[in-house]
Amino acid sequence: MKYLMPVLLLSNLVLCQVSSAAGWVGFLTCAYLLYFSAVSACGTLFSSARLHLAMIICFMGTAVSVMTLVTFRSLDVDLSYEPENIRTIEGTVIYDSSFTKNGNHMMKIRLSRCVTETGDAGTASGIVAAVGKERSIISAGLGIRLEGEFREGLFIYEDLQVLERSVLNDIREKLIVFLEERVLGKECDDASLMSCQLLLGRSENNSLELQEKARQCGCAHVFALSGMHLSIFAGICMTLFGKGKFARVMSCLAVAAFLLTAGPRPSLIRAALSFYLFFIPLKERTVAVYCIHMILFPATMCELGSCYGYLAVFAIVWMAPYLKAVLFQYIGRLSSLVSASLSVLVVSAPVYIICNGFWNPASVIAAPAAGFLAACSMSLGLLTLSFGRTDFLLKANSFVYRCMDRLFDILMGIPTAGWVGYAVLVGVLLLLYAFNRHRHRHWKKISSDHATSTEPHNPL
């Protein structure tokens, strides 16, 4: 808990510097007065455990919500001219470009300047998605100029010109090309493409079919660069160097190298910050990571995947322990895996229903299995980088790919559900939780009565 206040004060300082509106400073002052008042009141009404929870909620309700609002407002697109009159935009690439389902090249750009068809130039701000036919790697941090036009909120470019690049961009692009050639070889089979995507986050058209199946099963997150990837690198370092301080240092260097290679992707930034802040208790760490991510990399917070990621993390940290305690008496040690998937499903299903109209109950089973297969594919990709494309590694990776494809085919046959199914799920979980609490209190009372009856009688 002692680490929470420094994060809170740092958030306040940075927010006051970022925001140009003086009203935010006054709002924060009132919010923090309410925060400390609530903490003082809770201290007299609740136990220490509930006080701990109340402080977290107060913090989340003030600093995080205000920071989120300010950050997302700063990312709104603001152009000096009407979009239909603009033919050229300039800005900085936020993170490495990717490929769409139709084979187009897509990137997110933080705008700085725009030019109309008549040659008039003006300032621009915010983040816009640009789509074109470029096939080379456009790495994060490049300053670029695009010529094209706005269509339905996207900028469709026909020509791309690099205005500014650093030595880091050159190193990263050459390294990515080398690693892709090392993993893929001359024959881009589906299994190698999946390993390459899990290692570097680079997606091609050939790998999108499996991703679409994963999305329909509610398992799209297994293809995102996240904590699973960092844990594999850290585990390798622990195996090679033991469990001392030297191994910890090597793990930090390995994580930094992987982050440098893969680029500043939202889920990877979140996982790396959580890895480096290991000395902070888990619940406080989730809040600290969110705030630091918002401060250092605000442009990456506007992704829907980033929001899903944090939603999943908070669900696993705060809700999964309760679900594990409820499910342990029914499924034993499997409760650890099922409770994590179930907690994520409970908080993300409403958003998924709003966006897609349905949610897939199969994700409770599919997510742990798909995560294990993805870890196997990534490990085989690392071995391919080290020892080359040997027949054994290629056959093993192909087997893993077929297993994942077959898993998604089976789970796609399970019927989807809507709001009614979600209400049934939540209702069943609440009933199980209430029953577990009642039984716990009953046994606690029996134990207390038994201890009282067995106390020796004192005649004095």
Count other Cβ atoms within 10 Å, centred on residue 329: 12
pLDDT band of residue 4 (cuts 50, 70, 90) is: very low
User: For residue 21, which amino acid is it?
Assistant: A
Specify which of 81-95, 266-280, 307-321, 375-389 reaches the highest per-range mean pLDDT: 81-95
E-strand ranges in 59-132 read 78-79, 86-93, 98-99, 105-116, 121-125, 127-132
Cβ atoms 207, 194 nearer than 8 A: yes
Which has the minimum average pLDDT: 2-11, 200-209, 318-327, 413-422?
2-11
What is the Cα–Cα distance from 228 to 398, expressed in whole angstroms? 21
CB 344 within 8 A of CB 312: yes
Q: Interior CA angle at 10 toward 9 and 12, to 5°?
A: 65
What domains can you pick out in the chain, each with its CATH number?
4-74 (no CATH), 78-165 (2.40.50.140)
Higher pLDDT, 236 or 375: 375
What pLDDT, on the 0 to 100 scale, is given for residue 24?
47
- Mapping DSSP to helix (H, G, I), strand (E, B) and coil, where does residue 138 land? coil
- Give the model's pLDDT for residue 374: 85
Higher pLDDT, 38 or 421: 421
Q: Give the number of other CB atoms < 10 A from CB of residue 136.
A: 10
d(CA 190, CA 459): 82
Q: What percent of the chain has pLDDT over 70?
A: 75
For every residue of 238-299, DSSP letters joined together read HHHH-SSHHHHHHHHHHHHHHHHHH---HHHHHHHHHHHTTTS-HHHHHHHHHHHHHHH-GG
Q: State whether residue 193 is helix, strand or coil.
A: helix
C-beta separation of 58 from 38 below 8 A: yes
Residue 55: how many CA atoms within 13 Å on its side-chain side?
Answer: 19
The rounded distance, in Å, linking the Cα atoms of 271 and 261 is: 15
Give the bridge partners for 124, in sequence order: 79
The answer to whether 288 and 3 are in contact (CB under 8 A) is yes
Section 187-211 average pLDDT: 71
* Per-residue pLDDT tens over the stretch 47-83: 455 555 555 555 555 555 555 555 555 567 888 888 8
Q: Which of 25-39, 72-86, 324-338, 393-407 has the lowest mean pLDDT?
A: 25-39
Mean pLDDT of 74-96: 84
Query: Which residues lie below 8 Å from residue 252, measured CB to CB, with a gap of 6+?
Result: 275, 276
More confident site: 298 or 20:
298
pTM for the model: 0.71
Residue 1 has pLDDT above 50, yes or no: no
Angle at which helix 304-318 crosses helix 282-296, to 10 degrees, equals: 160
Give the residue with greater pLDDT, 202 vs 204. Answer: 202
Instruction: Give the Cα separation of 158 and 136 in Å (integer).
Output: 14
Q: What is the pLDDT of residue 89?
A: 92
pLDDT band at 5 (very low <50, low <70, confident <90, very high): very low
Among candidate residues 56, 50, 80, the one with its CA nearest the CA of residue 1: 56
Residue 17 pLDDT exceeds 60: no
List 365's β-bridge partners, or say none: none
Greater confidence (182 vs 21) lies with 182
- Counted residue by residue, the chain has a size of 460
Assess contact for 140 and 95: CB atoms under 8 A: yes
Longest C-alpha distance within the chain, in Å?
104
Using alpha carbons only, give the angle 432, 438, 439 rounded to the nearest 5 degrees. 90
Q: In a 3-state reduction of DSSP, which class is residue 45? A: helix
User: Which of 9-18, 263-272, 425-434 has maximum average pLDDT?
Assistant: 425-434
Q: What is the pLDDT of residues 238-273, one digit of tens each?
A: 777 777 778 788 888 888 888 887 777 777 888 888
Confidence class for position 425, pLDDT limits 50, 70, 90: confident
pLDDT confidence bin for 449, thresholds 50/70/90? low
Q: How many of the other CB atoms lie within 10 Å of CB of 440?
A: 11
Contacts of 276 (CB under 8 A, 6+ apart): 252, 255
CA 100/CA 109 separation, integer angstroms: 16
What value does the mean pLDDT of the chain take?
Answer: 75
Residue 225 has pLDDT above 90, yes or no: no
The amino acid occupying position 139 is S
Span of 195-204, 316-325, 436-445 with lowest mean pLDDT: 195-204
Query: Locate tokens 């997302």: which residue?
Result: 72
Query: Average pLDDT, stretch 125-151?
Result: 84
Q: Looking at residues 295-324, what average pLDDT do you find? A: 76
Dig out the tokens for 79 from the structure.
Answer: 């152009």
- Work out the pLDDT band at 20, boundaries 50, 70, 90: very low
Residue 155 class from Cβ within 10 Å (0-12 exposed, 13-18 middle, 19+ buried)? buried
DSSP 380-438: HHHHHHHH-S-HHHHHHHHHHHHHHHHHHHHHHTSPPB-HHHHHHHHHHHHHHHHHHHH
Pairing outcome for strands 127-132 and 154-164: parallel
pLDDT band at 9 (very low <50, low <70, confident <90, very high): very low
